[in-house]
Each structure stands twice: as C-alpha cells, then as structure tokens.
Chain A
C-alpha cells in the first residue's frame, strides 16, 4: 500500500535561513510525488511535482525538491526562507496509469522566526 511519512511535525527556521522538509514514501512502482502548501483555513496549493526525468524539480515560490529512489525520499528545500513561507506543508504520492487518488503525509508545520 502507498504511504508517506513526514517525520517532522513542526520545524522552526529563522527568516533568511535555508529549509529542508523531509518526506519518505512507500510505493510499489514508479511514484508520482507532490508537495503542497496549506495556509490556515485554506485549501492546498501545488508547489511542485515529480513524474520522471530530472530528479531535481523546481517549483513555485523558490522551492525545489530532489527525488532519491534509493532512499525513497522526496525532500523539499528552499535556500532562503521568508516569513510568508510559514504554513503547513504536505508531501503526497500517487502513481500508475489512470490513478485516481493521492496519499498524503501528516504534514510539517513551518514556523519562521524573525
């Protein structure tokens, strides 16, 4: 069965510092991987996605993620965090032809300190 683990429930980063959010997945075939961001009381916004090809994926808002098959990981990074990045971040996995659903992790809440 598909599953996603986000081991960090909360992370606090100083504004201007770099960020890495961890995501490990379990999937029996080639996964399709996503990172979403959710502000309080809002829906989810897609940051980036990986389907195939280059394992380093660029997304919106200066985020990037690297797919590492050997580690079953898809960690999200940003070189310099802004206060507006404070939100909840979700990693998700889906896959296969005609898949219908995504499996999400439990999320990591990012706090940005001045």
Chain B
C-alpha cells in the first residue's frame, strides 16, 4: 500500500492559464474523490468516480473544471482559464471497494496558486 499519490505538490500559474493535476489512488480502491480546500476551511466535495464512471459532481465544479478517470485507475483534474479564486489545495482521496466503511485515504494534495 503506497498510499494516494498526487502530483504536482505545488503549482503556480498565471491567471488564464490551464492546469492539470494527477491523482494515483491506492491500487485496489475503485472509488476516487476530489475535494478542494481553501485557507481556513474544511475540504469541500468536488466530484466522485466509481471505476471510470463519474457519478456525482458538485455545483462547485464549474464548466472550467473537468475530471477524468479514463481506465478506472489514475484521475486527472483540469482547470481551464484559471482565476485567482481557484487558488486552493486540491485533495484526492480513494476508498475501498466495500465503500465508506473503511474511510477515505487522502493524498497530500496539490496546492494551486493563481497569480
């Protein structure tokens, strides 16, 4: 069990640029989640995959955000035309196939700074 891996750890980008983050879940976990955490707040749910299917999206996930999990393994989160309000920590988590009973395992996150 190597844990949930997120890359990059930090990203600084200029407003208007596109960015993409990657998440590699624990290998036997078929559920994968993206959360966003802004300064002084708890994580907020963005979206959820079961295998390759994206089953739920938050209203926080505007049209500029897109997430994929093409083969049911790693996932990417892309933000197009970044805005300063997108600056946040983006957290990925995965969970066991038997579901929430085992709790999520979170990655260390990708901190995005939009300048």
Contact = CB atoms under 8 A, between A and B. Distances in A.
B40 interface: yes
Contact of B33 (A101, A106, A107): A101
Contact of B48 (A92, A100, A104): A100
Given A41-B111, A43-B106, A45-B106, A101 B48 contact: yes
Contact of B91 (A4, A32, A44, A98): A44
Given A46-B103, A46-B104, A94-B100, A102 B40 contact: no
Given A44-B91, A101-B56, A107 B103 contact: no
Contacts of A92: 42
B101 interface: yes
Nearest to B50: A100
Contacts of B31: 100
Q: Classify chain B's interface size.
A: 20 to 34
Contacts of A107: 40-42
Contact of A43 (B48, B55, B58, B91): B91
Nearest to A48: B103
A74 B48 CA distance: 26
Given A44-B104, A100-B48, A104-B42, 10 more contacts: A36-B106, A43-B6, A44-B91, A46-B104, A98-B99, A102-B104, A103-B45, A104-B44, A106-B40, A107-B40
Interface of B: 4, 6, 31, 33, 40-45, 48, 55-56, 58, 91, 93, 99-101, 103-109, 111
